[in-house]
Amino acid sequence: MSTTFTKSMARNIFYGGSVFFFLLFVALTVDTTHTLPKRDNSQNITPSVERGKKLWETNNCIGCHTLLGEGAYFAPELGNVYKRRGPEFIKIWIKSQPTGAPGRRQMPNFHLTDEELDDLVNFLKYTSEINTAKWPPNIEG
């Protein structure tokens, strides 16, 4: 780099650039927050969905599965599992774990009550109705 471009110039561009782009990020975040209600399905967040999300978290589901593509890649995507499998299948599946099939990946049994299973399914239904710009590409997730 030439000597006409000094360290203090570089420093000033750093501070100026960083502040500018952070403020731009904040502005886009404000706009996002205003736009979200049209896309985020928040009108369907019920107390049951809220309990379901907590169950999702306290059983560390994200430690194996992805949800809207984020999480671990060990087990299937669950953002659209409500549409792929339907509520009854999901509940029966969770209750029948682990399969114990030798050599196969195992999901623990979380000993959920029927009410908790309903909450979890309601959470997955709410998630499946978020507008994700047509992701995933197909039902397999």
Partner 1 sequence: MQYQSQAVAKPYFIAAIGLFVGQILFGLIMGLQYVIGDFLFPAIPFNVARMVHTNLLIVWLLFGFMGASYFLVPEETETELFSPKLAIITFWVFLVAGALTVLGYLLVPYSTLAEMTGNNILATMGREFLEQPLITKIGIVIVALSFLFNITMTLLKGRKTSISLVLTLGLLGLAVFFLFSFYNPVNLVKDKYYWWWVVHLWVEGVWELILGAILAFVLIKVTGVDREVIEKWLYVIITMTLITGIIGTGHHYYWIGAPEYWQWWGSIFSALEPIPFFMMTVFAFNMVSRRRREHPNKAAVLWALGTGVLAFLGAGVWGFLHTLAPVNYYTHGTQLTAAHGHLAFYGAYVAVVLTMISYAMPILRGRAANSEKAQNMEKLAFWLMSISMLVITLLLTGAGIVQIWLQRISPTPMGFMAVQDQVSIFYWLREGTGVVFLIGLVIYISSFFVKGGAKAAA
Between residue 47 and residue 86, which ones bind partner 1 under the rule CB under 8 A?
49-50, 53-54, 56-64, 66-77
Min. distance of Cβ 6 from partner 1 in angstroms? 7
Among 83, 91, 98, 115, interactor with partner 1 by CB under 8 A = 98
Counting other chains too, the contacts that 15-22 makes at CB distance below 8 Å and 24 or more residues apart are none
Shortest distance (Å) from residue 125 CB to partner 1: 12
Taking Cα atoms as reference points, which of 117, 130, 10, 19 lies closest to residue 69? 130
Among 4, 93, 105, 114, binds partner 1 (CB under 8 A): 105
Phi and psi torsions of 66, nearest 5°:
-100, 155
Determine if 13 is a binding residue for partner 1 (CB under 8 A).
yes
Per DSSP, what are the bridge partners of residue 66? 71
Binding flag, residue 94, partner 1 (CB under 8 A): no
Looking at the Cβ atoms of 54 and 118, the one nearer to partner 1 is 54
Q: How far is residue 106's CA from residue 83's CA, in Å, rounded to a whole number?
A: 23
